[in-house]
Amino acid sequence: MNRQLPPVPRRMARLPLNKAGYVVPWFVGWVDGQPDFRVIREGGIHDALRFRLCWLCGQPRGSYATFVIGPMCAVNRVSPEPPSHRDCANYAARACPFLTTPGMRRRDSNLPDNAAEPDGIMIRRNPGVVLVWVSRNWRIRDDLSLFHFGDPVETRWYAEGRPATRAEVLASIDSGLPLLREHAEQDPRPAAALAELGRQHARALELVPA
């Protein structure tokens, strides 16, 4: 990677680095002595909630909750991952190779046997565009599988480690919409689910940069 990485925020500076020199976030699980970015550390979600820790740096979080999400999560306002500090989240959105390089695919091979499948509608493709969503109100589903967040106090869109353009954000939302629509059509009450999706979509479009 020849792109200049943004400076590591203070709280993340004490985290270990992987072989390629990338900061290994707190939530990452280690397999055979190496960090595996696809794996969540043992008890990670539970500990992050119980001790109010930032998902990325592992240090205590304040009253603001920042989620790093793909465009589809901006529509349905859910994330499979707990919140982080704002600084840490903006850093991850700009520096994480998976989040910032649209050509990179998730690798599902060689996952440890106990790797859990995330719940909810997870779209297993690199969205190309990531959104940093800061909110004060959020809640978690009882089974700890999905985080629902409320209105943002700030949103920042990124693509390839830089601010995303309006066209990129719109394209990214459009490309995921058929999957959400398909999911709504399978709902026991499809008409209501589709109407709700329409409302969520319109609400998300208000957040697209001008």
Binding site for Zn ion (CB under 5 A): 11, 54, 56-57, 85, 88
> CB-wise, 54 or 99, nearer to Zn ion?
54
Looking at beta carbons, which residue is closest to Zn ion?
A: 54
> CB-wise, 53 or 129, nearer to Zn ion?
53
Whether the Cβ atoms of residue 44 and residue 57 lie closer than 8 Å to each other: no
Q: Shortest Cβ distance from residue 81 to Zn ion (Å)?
A: 13
> CB-wise, 54 or 180, nearer to Zn ion?
54
Q: Shortest Cβ distance from residue 6 to Zn ion (Å)?
A: 15
Q: Which helix (H) or strand (E) holds 139?
A: strand 138-140
What is the spatial distance between Cα 169 and Cα 173, in angstroms, rounded to a whole number?
A: 6
What is the spatial distance between Cα 204 and Cα 69, in angstroms, rounded to a whole number?
A: 13
Q: Shortest Cβ distance from residue 13 to Zn ion (Å)?
A: 11
Strands of the sheet containing 147-149, edge to edge, are 78-79, 147-149, 138-140
Q: Shortest Cβ distance from residue 126 to Zn ion (Å)?
A: 23
